[in-house]
């Protein structure tokens, strides 16, 4: 017996109960995509769950390192040492707590990726004045070159990047573009468009659930740019785990509404935006979480 929860992505449950008439997303693959449990990261913060979808197709090096840090147990009990209310919550400073040596390696920036439109289809719904397209890629809001660009390039790819909308997870770094190692940040609100974070920081996932928990993380002092003088005052990431590693009797199964499915077609047809901020303000893509009954 499963308990099903329909969630407006990263929001609150809308439907629950094993006796609901709705059969569930597992019976409707044309409209729902099951998230691979190896690409699902569970954070526990202030007693609340955040489920994050990892995207190795967007940032393979970052995802591989995050999986290793999680499985090493080195994200557990780390403080969110810099939190800005209308911006983001930053954590993952492994070295300040665990003094891990050898250090996790710095990673090259994975700010954009070369997308083959024949294999990675985006549902475009708008375009910026500069000619970039805006659309959905498996529930992620993305911006990039038109598909036609790939037709004149070898290899046939179009440069694409994920937008730093609310709920997106990205990697912190120093001034060097190739300096990210363990620190990450969770977007509390959107910071998108030219001169912001897009194409300069590596997006590795997004929170499918738990946006309220992200926004509930304690904010640091404004005069210190959100940095806590004493990490004992900061909220902590209690536990991080790859969902594959959770016992089957407790493991959540997560589905995301397909933006390329027939049910989403009417919603997609009604969207026309020309600005990344307007894209981030669109209603979230639905998520279903199924849990084994206790």
- 73 CB contacts (<8 Å, ≥6 apart)? none
Per-residue pLDDT of the chain in tens (294 residues, 90 and over written 9): 566 665 654 443 444 444 444 578 999 999 999 999 999 999 999 999 999 999 999 999 999 999 999 999 999 999 999 999 999 999 999 998 888 778 999 999 999 999 999 999 999 999 999 999 999 999 999 999 999 999 998 999 999 999 999 999 999 999 999 999 999 999 999 999 888 999 999 999 999 999 999 999 999 999 999 999 999 999 999 999 999 999 999 999 999 999 999 999 999 999 999 999 999 999 999 999 999 987
Q: Using CA atoms, how far apart are residues 269 and 248, in angstroms rounded to an integer?
A: 39
User: Scanning the structure block, which residue is given the tokens 């049910």?
Assistant: 263
Predicted confidence at residue 18, as pLDDT, reads 41
CB 187 within 8 A of CB 168: yes
User: Scanning the structure block, which residue is given the tokens 């995301």?
Assistant: 256
Domains contained in the chain, CATH given: 2-14+37-289 (2.40.100.10)
Predicted confidence at residue 293, as pLDDT, reads 83
Predicted confidence at residue 5, as pLDDT, reads 61
CA-CA-CA-CA torsion sign (240, 242, 246, 252): positive
Q: Using CA atoms, how far apart are residues 294 and 291, in angstroms rounded to an integer?
A: 9
Is the pTM above the cut of 0.85? yes
Order of strands across the sheet that contains 82-83: 78-79, 236-242, 40-45, 48-54, 203-209, 168-171, 184-187, 88-91, 82-83
Predicted confidence at residue 96, as pLDDT, reads 85
3-state secondary structure labels for all residues of 21-50: CCCCHHHCCCCEEECCHHHEEEEEECCEEE
CB 52 within 8 A of CB 246: no
């Amino acid at each position: 017996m499963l308990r099903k929860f329909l969630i407006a992505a990263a929001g609150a449950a809308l439907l629950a109960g094993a006796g609901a008439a709705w059969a569930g997303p597992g019976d409707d693959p044309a409209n729902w995509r099951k998230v691979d449990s190896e690409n699902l990261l569970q954070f526990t913060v202030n007693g609340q769950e955040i489920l994050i979808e990892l995207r190795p197709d967007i940032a393979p090096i970052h995802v591989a390192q995050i999986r290793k840090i999680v499985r090493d147990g080195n994200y557990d009990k780390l403080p969110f040492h810099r939190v800005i209310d209308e911006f983001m919550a930053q954590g993952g400073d492994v070295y300040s707590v665990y003094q891990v040596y050898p250090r996790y390696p710095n990673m090259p920036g994975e700010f954009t990726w070369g997308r083959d439109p024949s294999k990675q289809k985006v549902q475009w719904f708008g375009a910026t004045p500069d000619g970039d397209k805006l659309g959905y890629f498996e529930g992620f809001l993305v911006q990039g070159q038109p598909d036609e660009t790939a037709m004149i390039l070898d290899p046939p790819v179009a440069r694409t990047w994920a937008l730093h909308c609310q709920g997106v997870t990205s990697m912190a770094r120093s001034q060097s573009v190739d300096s990210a190692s363990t620190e990450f940040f969770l977007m509390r609100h959107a910071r998108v468009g030219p001169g912001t974070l897009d194409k300069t920081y590596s997006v590795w996932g997004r929170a499918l659930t738990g946006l309220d928990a992200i926004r509930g993380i304690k904010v640091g002092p404004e005069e210190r740019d959100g940095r806590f003088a004493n990490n004992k005052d900061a909220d902590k990431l209690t536990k991080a785990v790859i969902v594959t590693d959770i016992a089957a009797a407790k493991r959540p199964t997560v589905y995301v509404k397909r933006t390329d499915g027939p049910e989403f077609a009417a919603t997609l047809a009604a969207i026309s935006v020309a600005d990344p901020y307007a894209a981030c303000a669109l209603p979230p893509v639905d998520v279903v979480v199924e849990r084994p009954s206790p």
